[in-house]
Amino acid sequence: GDGAYNLLQYLAGVGAVLAASRITAQLGGGPTAQLATVFVLATTPEVLLQATSTQVDLVAAAWVAALATVVLDEFTRPGDADGSALRAAAPAPDALYLGLALGLIAVTKTTGLLAAAPLLLIWGIGRLVRDGHRRRPCLCGRSPGRCSRADASRAWTSRGRTVLASLAVIALGLAVAGPFLWRMQEAFGSPLGPPMLRESIGVQTADPRLLLVNALRIAQTGLDTPLFFLSDATAGAINWLANLMGVDVNDPRITFGTSQFPVPAWYPDEDRAAFPLTGLASLAGLVWFAAKGPRLRRAYAAALAVAFIGVACTVSWQPWVNRLVVFLIVLAAPAAGLLAATMVKGVARTVGDKRRRRAAVALIAVVASLASVAGLLTVAYGYPRRLTGAWSVFSLTDMEERFVRRLEWLPQYEAAADAVAAIDPETVGIVQGNDSWEYPWWILLPEGTEIVALESVVPGQDPPDPDSVDAIVCAEDLDQCADLVPEGWEFTDLGTVGYAIPGGGG
């Protein structure tokens, strides 16, 4: 059965949290900062909801976080902080791990590459700079900086290895993702898939005004709250700015389909759940990184800023954009954890210090309480797999759980499948709309039934003739389905679902 399919995302969620905790330690955080990072992610509604989903956004986030922590290894390896005299050579396995992570990101969700690219750039440039300080071990036992032996430098050798390692990362990434990308190129003329997909999801303009509006809409949707006056005010400000710049806030070049901004995203739905607490805390932490340093933290914050700009310039705003940026939330959470730990760190010696400490503790307590409530409510009432209330997972059958988003479709799918099963077909043709569900047919139709698509979006690959199948089932696109029904067959329209069988049998 399919009862354990969500375990992929669940385990990916665990991996993402562990990687974020390790990143926190690599950026200078202690156990308190790591615990705060884990808490931030473990109470983020979208992370909790994705962990029980069969989507892949959390899987992509886990691969991106894995790549990030390997990148940071280059700058935080124990015993490798000798300033101008680095004794240790960069480990060869780093390139292997980075290449595998890069390829896995590409085949899981290509948006993750928007974060992988700046992180790998930091790794490559940083390693080249550090290569200039690498030294061979001194035979006399002195520190590398005091070694008197001639030709102690190993800079050029190390830089050559770094260039080769960088090429290896790219080669390994292509080895993993290449076959998939080549298949897309061969089928659709682009490694990013068919034109309909690219044009509906991707940004179709370089107009800086529209890109700014797109970035602001993505941010507003991610930070949406149940404080409606605040949501309305921020959305209104974005609309005002768009009008001021003379552009349409819902310009189709930066908007998915016919979607209209704004949409309510504060409620715990796996496709839309906003993350205002996590987002604001992480943003504050990243600003603190940029202001206070050290250099590694500034570089990390810059990489995340570049990644967000990349998202705004390539991904059209859509009502479910929040789940598409989960990888950014996972990468940014360590900044929130480090900031929280720093706010309560040290000994308050003066009256002013004590007041600031009390204010910081109070702020953290309020945020933690709100985050805990949000997490608990998400687990209890999160849609579509809530534990309590109407449509609880404890009160639904397995089939009802599959249709919980559109329960009205279930009887139609079952009626169509029963009618088709009655004629004992060997091959069934399906006709699907852009947003209808194919998966139920694989469960409801008799085991062993061959299912073929009667429509094709692949250039040069014609679908089978409707006369070659024993029955036809369709969902949503009923007009097109009716046009494909062979002469002498009876077509039955059930509302959203339909079916056709020869001679009206069954």
pLDDT in tens, 258-302: 899 999 999 999 999 999 999 999 999 999 999 998 999 999 999
Report the interhelical angle of 326-343 vs 276-292 (nearest 10°): 60
pLDDT (tens digit, 9 = 90+) per residue, 166-218? 999 999 999 999 999 999 888 888 888 888 777 888 899 999 999 999 999 99
Write down the pLDDT at residue 140: 58
Is the model more confident about 483 or about 460? 483
Location of structure tokens 């009008």: 243
Residues with Cβ within 8 Å of residue 389, at least 6 apart in sequence: 380, 381
| Domain boundaries, given as residue ranges, for the chain | 7-138+152-343, 405-502
Among candidate residues 36, 1, 35, 164, the one with its CA nearest the CA of residue 90: 164
What is the C-alpha to C-alpha distance for residues 259 and 257, in angstroms, rounded to an integer?
6
Q: Given the DSSP bridges, would you call strands 489-493 and 497-502 parallel, antiparallel or unpaired?
A: antiparallel
Residues with Cβ within 8 Å of residue 371, at least 6 apart in sequence: 39, 40, 43, 44, 277, 278
Tell me the average pLDDT across 449-453: 92
The b/e string for 159-193 (b: 16+ C-beta within 10 A; e otherwise) is bebbeebbebbeebbbebbeeebeebeeebeebeb
Report the chain's mean pLDDT, rounded to a whole number: 89
- With pLDDT > 90 as the criterion, what percentage of the chain qualifies? 66
What is the C-alpha to C-alpha distance for residues 453 and 429, in angstroms, rounded to an integer?
6
Task: Check whether 342 has a pLDDT greater than 80.
Answer: yes
Q: Give the C-alpha distances (Å, rounded to integers) separating 2 from 45, 53, 456.
A: 24, 12, 27
Write down the pLDDT at residue 82: 47
Mean pLDDT lowest for which of 70-84, 142-156, 168-182, 317-331? 142-156
Q: What share of the chain is helix, strand, coil (3-state, %, to 5)?
A: 60, 5, 35
Backbone phi and psi for residue 264, each to the nearest 5 degrees, phi listed first: -70, 125
**Confidence category of residue 137, pLDDT binned at 50, 70, 90:** low
Write down the pLDDT at residue 426: 93
pLDDT (tens digit, 9 = 90+) per residue, 215-233? 999 999 999 999 999 999 9
pLDDT (tens digit, 9 = 90+) per residue, 77-120? 765 554 544 555 667 788 999 999 999 999 999 999 999 999 99
